[in-house]
Structure 1
Amino acid sequence: MNAKVNITNRAGASFPVRRMDFDFDTVPEYWMNKSAGLTHFMTALSALFPAGEKFFIDSVRAVRQHPSIKDNQELQREISAFIGQEAMHTQEHVGFNASAQKFGHDVDRLDRITDRVIQSTRKVFTFLGKPVGITQEMVDLTATTALEHFTATIASQLLVNPYIQELMTDETMKTMWLWHAIEENEHKAVAYDVFEGVFGRGLKAYALRTGSLVTAMATLFVVQSYFVLRLLQDDKQLNLTSLKDIYIYAYSPSKGVITGMTKEMLVYFRPRFHPNDLDTHELLVSWKAKLGF
């Protein structure tokens, strides 16, 4: 494994917190198959994580003492482990983003844009929803639930798609993304269980969570695509070769990481959906063994 790791489970949750320490100093500029397009696509994703995962943590913390869940000790343990894992994801993506920054790619600016988009979007939707009783906590938690479904789904693609794994030719980055993918699936149900515990399964809750998914995915697509184009343009790599690499990797019908997500993303619209309906247990057992967890 290309990182020091300390695995703890002090909270007694169903999944541990792995305290990673990746060394990004030796990661090359174009670490993904020597392709500027592929590398910048993943860097654009990474630029979303520090502000995004802080938002996830804050959203869950804001309601963890709600009367309907505060005495649920099992869920409280899961929340503690969720926060621990997300904090570690933030730390390691900050480290990787800094390594990209040293090559002149302005990831710090993209991180600031991500935070502004999150804060402005949540405030707008709270303002629009106020007349029908939608609170800031509801907006934040449902957005977190939707985005956690996205991260768990794209994480599953990283774990099941050998084409994607083969393109991750730098071992440090490959291990970092696979570790992140494992943990996104380990805690994929926590935010959803908090949402359901606080807001139930009624029609209003269903409309809110599905509407949040549509809004979150549209926003995410626009922002991440802008980040990719900005990184490529600033790097003078906005050309047909880079765009072709991105298309095949992300959007091609047979291999694309994004197109491969479609079926699982749509499952979210089932009225009785739960994240654990998508069984990744054996997949995680296999990958944890491969990574030495």
Structure 2
Amino acid sequence: MNDQFPAQQQEPPGLTSEMTPRPDHGEESYVGHGRLAGKVALITGGDSGIGRAVAIAYAREGADVAFTYLPEEEPDAQETLEALGSTDAKVLPIPVDLRDSRSCDEVVRRTVDELGALDVLVNNAGYQMARGDGIDDLDDEHLDRTMKTNLYALLWLVRAAVPHLESRNGSIVNNTSIQAYQPSTSLVDYASTKAAINNITVNLAAELGPRGVRVNAVAPGPIWTPLQPATQPAEKLTQFGSDTPLGRAGQPAEVAPAFVFLASDADAGYVSGTVLGVTGGKPVF
């Protein structure tokens, strides 16, 4: 049993304040080095988990940051704002449900209008819900929410963002998952969207490269975020991450540097069409 994570459960989408232990987003540890100075980043799902860790890292690397979150995640969004308050970054929080194209268009428009540009789009927002009864338990509402959150919104945001990104040789970083390579039967819909995101990443890298836009993805393994207690059976969390070669789950702060690397022109200027695994040793090929 993994003593680090006691059995616990929340209603979706889950809140950081109710997690035991609290995740580490790099609040105390992440030190920036100006890798993203002068850039403007839009991060979806930036209120908690990996999204919050990326927002903190990007701000400390010199970027201005817009981030989206669901209205019911307001408490987490306020914690992210507090964490970013120690930086010089301009910050734009946007409460929104991304499951329609007009909302995605509006998010990009507000980012450009209020922060002046768009250099990096991070498609991080995602939805999953484990199902104990397999395919028989996959109802239409659940399937629709997973597909629209994980795939439709990504494509709508990219479509809206590309005209701004290409004018600044920008980049897109998508959040995929180890589930794209080692899918769980209880997450067939979620895992399939993550496999699709891998394909979309490579496809868009080929299309947008000639337009000066790099497209990459990060594939996290088991990471301790509100998504876990809000979507997994309580007892399953006592084993969370123990099946990785490193024998533990990761923290959001351990994923954020991969997003920084891929967004940095100096470090990753010739990197496009790749998926970078942060999985505790699980393979992503």
TM-score scaled by structure 1? 0.32
Q: Which has the larger radius of gyration?
A: 1
Structure having the larger proportion of residues in helix = 1
1 or 2, which has the higher strand percentage?
A: 2
